[in-house]
Structure 1
Amino acid sequence: MLKTDAQTGPCRSLRPSLSGRSLSVLLVEDEEASAAAVCAAVDKLGHRLCGTASSEAEAMAMVRQERPDVALMDVRLAGGDGIAVARRLHNDCGIRSIFLSGYADHGVMGRITESYPLGVVHKPFSAAQLKIVLDLAARRLR
């Protein structure tokens, strides 16, 4: 499920400046229903969804092509670990993540915390929760 607008550029190139409070967001989510809900919420909140990915390979390709400001990252991906993907996005490309998680156990939350996230939104999420986390991320990334 790799969708994109048409911008190009290498992963390590200069990231666009954050003018205003709007963010360019990459969604990494393998469940279509969840992805559709998050996409609609991100758009409604005034942020630009630069694409969606359902795997690590798609996420890395999208980051290199779109250079998002932030990744909204599902903790558990089919055939992968969203926390490990978030670490790779941060280490290789300087992209920080906000986690989407239906899991709140101590082990998962500890692993999330170790990846220095910009925030965590628990599923099922509300638009208000997502707004707060995206607003805080925009301020932190300025």
Structure 2
Amino acid sequence: MRVYGHELYDHLPYLRRYARALTGTTEAGDALATRCVEVVVMAPTRFGLDRGEGARLSLYALLHLLFDQSADDGAYDGRPAASPHPIERALAALPEADRRLYLLITLEGLSLAEAAQVLNLAPLDAVDHLKAAREMVRSAMTQRVLVVEDNALLAMEIGELVADMGHVVCGTAVNQREALSLLKAEKPTLALLDVRLADGSSGVEIARHLRRTRALRTIFVTAFDGDLEEMDARHLGQIVRKPFTAEAIRAAISRAVFMPRPVALI
């Protein structure tokens, strides 16, 4: 085994990364990767350690086999552990073969042909599975965005940026009353809020309500970020300072999409 130890060591970071994605947790992933190594050291040539880079595909296939055996043994249910992260939740909703194909290509950087080989899929079938997986993930990550802004031109500009990113503006409100009405009717998943609204209502109070009732992610778009400090509200969401740039809005939305859902306020 010492002859092949270096080759196995080179593959270990990939095995651990993929095993963690496959199982959904660091602990379970490391345990699965350890089992994989234990099997490989007993028969290194069987898993291609004498073939250089080609061994990587065999090792991924072995991880799948061991993970599926764990499900048969009752150690897992054959699916990843529940995760608070949106992308991981979206992937967990995929059929298992599609999830593995998506991970092998997007996370591990395999070609479609290589991933199909690992999963024992015909290349044309793999194309269909990948298209379906990407569409499901895209749909799951698309946000319904509530914009609370009393300046009509700014509200329109923010809405166009949201739409250009592939998300949906489910409503635009100019005050707290309209925002809470849209919350019930449109069920947003993300809110962009001004802090000081023309009728005297506060985007901070709207954000607190959204967090308390829906654990909603929020982004403050404001020239008065000092108000957030005074109202002890910085923890409620990201801040984009006015006058904003398109890049700042896009970056804040991208961060929000991939952040775990916040804990609801009590």
TM-score range, shorter chain: 0.7 to 0.9
- Structure number with higher strand proportion: 1
> Residue 53 in 1 paired to residue 173 in 2?
yes
Q: Which of these residues, 28, 32, 37, is aligned with residue 157 of structure 2?
A: 37
The DSSP-based 3-state class of the residue aligned with 2:142 is coil
Instruction: Report the alpha carbon displacement of residue 22 of structure 1 after superposing the two structures with TM.
Output: 2.5
Please say if residues 83 and 111 of structure 1, whose CA atoms lie closer than 8 Å, have aligned partners that are also in contact.
Answer: no
Distance 1:113 1:127 in 2: 27
Count of residue pairs the alignment pairs up: 124
The DSSP-based 3-state class of the residue aligned with 2:150 is coil
> Cα RMSD (Å) of the superposition?
2.0
**Corresponding position of 1:27:** 147
> Residue 126 in 1 paired to residue 245 in 2?
yes
Q: Decide whether aligned partners of structure 1 residues 93 and 30 sit closer, same or farther in structure 2, where only a CA change above 3 A counts.
A: same
Name structure 2 gaps, 5 residues minimum.
1-88, 91-136, 262-266
Distance 2:161 2:223 in 1: 17
Q: Which of these residues, 89, 97, 102, is aligned with residue 218 of structure 2?
A: 97
Distance 1:112 1:141 in 2: 24
Instruction: Report the alpha carbon displacement of residue 33 of structure 1 after superposing the two structures with TM.
Output: 1.3
- Structure number with higher helix proportion: 2
**Corresponding position of 1:110:** 229
The DSSP-based 3-state class of the residue aligned with 2:188 is coil
State the identity as a percent: 31
Distance 1:111 1:69 in 2: 27
The higher-RCO structure (CA 8 Å, 6+ apart) is 1
Please say if residues 83 and 115 of structure 1, whose CA atoms lie closer than 8 Å, have aligned partners that are also in contact.
Answer: no
Moved over 4 A (4+): none
Q: Which moved more, 1:108-117 or 1:69-78?
A: 108-117
Q: Decide whether aligned partners of structure 1 residues 112 and 67 sit closer, same or farther in structure 2, where only a CA change above 3 A counts.
A: farther
The DSSP-based 3-state class of the residue aligned with 1:110 is helix
Instruction: Report the alpha carbon displacement of residue 141 of structure 1 after superposing the two structures with TM.
Output: 3.8
Please say if residues 87 and 115 of structure 1, whose CA atoms lie closer than 8 Å, have aligned partners that are also in contact.
Answer: no
